[in-house]
Structure 1
Amino acid sequence: MPTDIETLEERIAHLQRAMDDLSDTVARQDRDIDHLTRRLALLIEREAERSAEGSGGVILGDERPPHY
């Protein structure tokens, strides 16, 4: 039969592992967010350049397409 101290040590070990797993997950998500933020900035910049050139684009709502 485990003692109170052994039970507490086991619980602490499980909590430590859970905390390490969560820490790894948060670190990975932080890297993913940084990567996605950079990609979004590039896409926004690319779209701004395309809009400035007047080429292409997305027709929104009730806008008439260029061939009208």
Structure 2
Amino acid sequence: MQRAEEQIAHLTRTVEDLSEVVARQGREIEVLTRRVAMLLEREAEREVMGGGTIPLADQKPPHW
């Protein structure tokens, strides 16, 4: 019985650790998503100011 309790305690700790990792990664993904959106917006503005006709973010890739 003690072995099972030790196993459960270990598994509980592992789940808590993994939960913390997932939460941290979620926050990092949110930050990176905002940064990518900001960079795409800046690049689109730069292309428009440079006289481009269609912003790169709105163009279809060549294979489409």
Do both share a fold (TM > 0.5)? yes
Structure richer in helix, relative to its length = 2
Decide which of 8, 12, 37 is 1:12's aligned counterpart. 8
Q: How many residues align?
A: 51
Tell me the residue number matched to 1:50. Answer: 46
Q: Structure 1: which 5+ residue stretches go unaligned?
A: 56-68
Structure 2 length as normaliser, TM-score?
A: 0.78
Q: Structure 2: which 5+ residue stretches go unaligned?
A: 52-64
Larger RCO of the pair (alpha carbons < 8 Å, separation 6+)? 2
Percent identity, please.
Answer: 57
Once superposed, which parts of structure 1, at least 4 consecutive aligned residues long, lie more than 4 Å away?
A: none
CA RMSD of aligned residues (A): 1.0
Structure 1 length as normaliser, TM-score?
A: 0.73
Larger Rg: 1
